[in-house]
Amino acid sequence: MTSPNDPPQPPVPSTSIVVLTLARRVEAELNAALAPLELTVSRLGLLGHISGVPGASFSDLARMSGISVQSVHGAVKALVAAGLVQDRTARAGSASTIELTPEGTRLLASAREKVSEVDERLFGPDADPAQRKVGEVVRATFSF
């Protein structure tokens, strides 16, 4: 029991809030690192899905990206305009065959280098010990 003269105690931290705070920091760091490549975390994710799942439909890409099919259509249209992806069967009513262009492949490789730099900075040997531990647990849990 505490008395009125005891100093206030900090609240017990919420795991959800701590993880969310760290996730926002990671996203901000990634977006800053990707900005010179004119990429965002969302666009990088979409490029990665297109690269990693050949023949993925717009619906598949929406599920993997956690966005609506309409949003995927708009994002893919922007990626096509930027010369990063091509849709070999872009006809209404046809299944699409979306794939990276050589420029998209090059950009994805450059982006992966930036992601590695952020990983190293936030979770590598010189990172804050708590964050380093989080990185170790995440890698162990998901068997990277």
pTM over 0.85: no
Fold assignment, 16-133:
Arc Repressor Mutant, subunit A (1.10.10)
Per-domain residue ranges of the chain:
16-133
Name the CA dihedral angle for 43, 49, 54, 58, rounded to a multiple of 10 degrees.
-70
C-beta contacts of 52-56 below 8 A and 24+ residues apart: 54/99, 55/97, 56/98
Distance from chain centroid for Cα 111: 11
pLDDT, one tens digit for every residue, the chain (144 residues): 567 788 888 887 899 998 999 999 999 999 999 999 999 999 999 999 999 998 888 899 999 999 999 999 999 999 999 999 998 775 555 567 889 999 999 999 999 999 999 999 999 999 999 999 999 999 999 975
